[in-house]
Chains A and B, each alone.
Chain A
Amino acid sequence: MLRIAGATAIILGSAVFGFKKEYELKARRDLIARLITAVTVLENEISYARSDLKSIFASVGNSHNLPIFEETAKNTDTLGFCGAMRSALNTHGENLTAEDKSALLLLADNLGISDCGSQLYVTAHVRKLLEASHRTACAEYDTNGRMYRNSCMLFGVLTAILLY
């Protein structure tokens, strides 16, 4: 009985680890996709409506399920835009790589401080960086996601067999 329970625990633990790794890759891929959409909306709002950053980030964050944007909007009044976005990235950027974060930090450092033309140049540049990150994230998920899940489960089964 104890052996069965131990083997099950090993297999389950390995499977959870594999699924977790796969989920992280999937979450990053999906988060970057949502960020690209959000930056496109941001570009439109800046060029057409000339809305202020706080309201754009609040509405985009809410409609695209982006806590980074929502948190930024919430803290803009107290921390300033740059401080608010940096703080939001620290709090909610756990699924992003250093590369993704550095692209978003470009937004933090450059949005809101210059004229419309310069703002659109920055957002277009950040969108391109995010698109490159998204391609990498998709490739990583396609190649590594399934591998992590299957190999971890296999590792658990093999370990259980070897031990018992």
Chain B
Amino acid sequence: MFTLAQEVFTPGGEFTSALPERISACVCKIGTDKLAEIRLRCGAPLAAIRTDGSFFVTPDGKLTHDRGSALNVTASDIRRGTELITRCSVYAYENEIRNGFITLPGGHRVGICGDAVCDEEKFSHLRSVQALNYRFAREIIGASDSVIGKITDGKRIKNTVIISPPMFGKTTLLRDIARNLSLMGKRVSIVDERCELAALENGVSAFDLGAGCDVLSGVKKSDGMLLMLRSMSPDVIITDEIGTREDFTAVEEIKRRGVSIITSLHGGEKDTADGFELVLRLQGIGKCYV
């Protein structure tokens, strides 16, 4: 999606400290430079997804394609991992678990799945956790340098939708766009429902977002966008992975008020159903680059 990277910041400490101790020791040995994901599945080999391919990890911290020689993840690893990512406080992460993931300090995300319990046909909680997927967050300063000229001419910011499949760096690009626009003196409002775009901790972002960014995190995107519109008088609202009817309605409202929006969508092509609908709604205001 983008190739220019002037500086890469990988806050790996928070990531490895949230892994069970014996898994963490292996991951530290393989290093976090090219790491994208660590997958823990109960009773299955430890898997590492890197930018150069998918591997299993051996007990002595080496990458392999041989399942047999890989470190086997046990139920106690999953239990310890769950303890570490919830800080031994599952009640504090109820909503996040219902959404399927928990965001760690530093913006890293841990996907959770397992044996679900439903209450009146709605997902209530997990009886037991079967798998944890640790996704490594990266900050690439300068990632948006090649596209920022297409998004803004210095005065007006064009409505922009970034569409790509998962793991292609939508969030990283949005984060750097926010930083660049903020450095240009624009009033940037970030609505960070999943706490991964700005990764606020105690009100401070784990990433460099410049001096002109206001962040609202942990709130539903559709509500958050309208709240920021009313309260922060932004030049642009940036949010990640919109997709629901409410989100589209909020986008229309923002467009009507003359505020620009930059967002992202899951999808392989520009004409995927959701993307197409959004592009139509933003038609005549700006352009989309995929």
The answer to whether B50 has its CB under 8 Å from any CB of chain A is: no
C-alpha spacing A144/B56, complex, angstroms: 66
* Contact among B80, B87, B90 for A54, CB-based, below 8 A: B87
Which residues does chain B contribute within 8 Å of A80, judged by CB atoms?
A: 80, 83, 88
Interface of A, secondary structure class, is: helix
**Binary A-proximity of B81-115 (CB < 8 A = 1, otherwise 0):** 00110111111101000000000000000000000
C-alpha spacing A111/B89, complex, angstroms: 7
The answer to whether B125 has its CB under 8 Å from any CB of chain A is: yes
B94's closest neighbor in chain A, by CB?
A: A115
The answer to whether A46 has its CB under 8 Å from any CB of chain B is: yes
Whether the Cβ atoms of B90 and A115 lie closer than 8 Å is yes
The answer to whether A114 has its CB under 8 Å from any CB of chain B is: yes
C-alpha spacing A114/B125, complex, angstroms: 9
Most interface-central of A111, A113, A119 (chain B CB within 10 A): A113
8 A Cβ contacts from A33-57 to B: 46, 50-54
**Binary A-proximity of B62-90 (CB < 8 A = 1, otherwise 0):** 00000000000000000010011011111
C-alpha spacing A160/B79, complex, angstroms: 63
The answer to whether A112 has its CB under 8 Å from any CB of chain B is: yes
Total count of chain B residues near the partner, CB < 8 A: 13
A80's closest neighbor in chain B, by CB?
A: B83
Q: How far is the CB of A65 from chain B (nearest CB, A)?
A: 23
B91's closest neighbor in chain A, by CB?
A: A116
Which residues does chain A contribute within 8 Å of B92, judged by CB atoms?
A: 50-52
Which residues does chain B contribute within 8 Å of A112, judged by CB atoms?
A: 83, 86, 88-91
Q: How far is the CB of B138 from chain A (nearest CB, A)?
A: 25
Which residues does chain B contribute within 8 Å of A113, judged by CB atoms?
A: 90
Q: How far is the CB of A33 from chain B (nearest CB, A)?
A: 26
B87's closest neighbor in chain A, by CB?
A: A52
Whether the Cβ atoms of B125 and A53 lie closer than 8 Å is no
* Contact among A50, A76, A111, A115 for B125, CB-based, below 8 A: A115
The answer to whether A81 has its CB under 8 Å from any CB of chain B is: yes
**Binary B-proximity of A103-137 (CB < 8 A = 1, otherwise 0):** 00000000111111011000000000000000000
Whether the Cβ atoms of B87 and A119 lie closer than 8 Å is no
Contacts A80-B80, A80-B83, A81-B83 hold; do A116 and B88 have CB atoms under 8 A apart? no
C-alpha spacing A64/B72, complex, angstroms: 44
Whether the Cβ atoms of B94 and A76 lie closer than 8 Å is no
C-alpha spacing A119/B88, complex, angstroms: 12
Which residues does chain A contribute within 8 Å of B83, judged by CB atoms?
A: 80-81, 112
Q: How far is the CB of A123 from chain B (nearest CB, A)?
A: 11
C-alpha spacing A13/B94, complex, angstroms: 58
Could you jot down 30 A-B contacts, CB within 8 Å? Answer: A46-B91, A50-B92, A51-B89, A51-B92, A52-B86, A52-B87, A52-B88, A52-B92, A53-B88, A53-B89, A54-B87, A76-B87, A76-B88, A77-B84, A80-B83, A80-B88, A81-B83, A81-B89, A111-B88, A112-B86, A112-B88, A112-B89, A112-B90, A113-B90, A115-B90, A115-B91, A115-B94, A115-B125, A118-B91, A119-B91
**14 more A-B contacts (CB under 8 A) besides A53-B87, A112-B88?**
A50-B91, A50-B92, A51-B89, A52-B86, A52-B88, A54-B87, A76-B87, A80-B83, A80-B88, A81-B89, A112-B89, A114-B125, A115-B91, A115-B125
B: which residues have CB within 8 A of A? 80, 83-84, 86-92, 94, 124-125
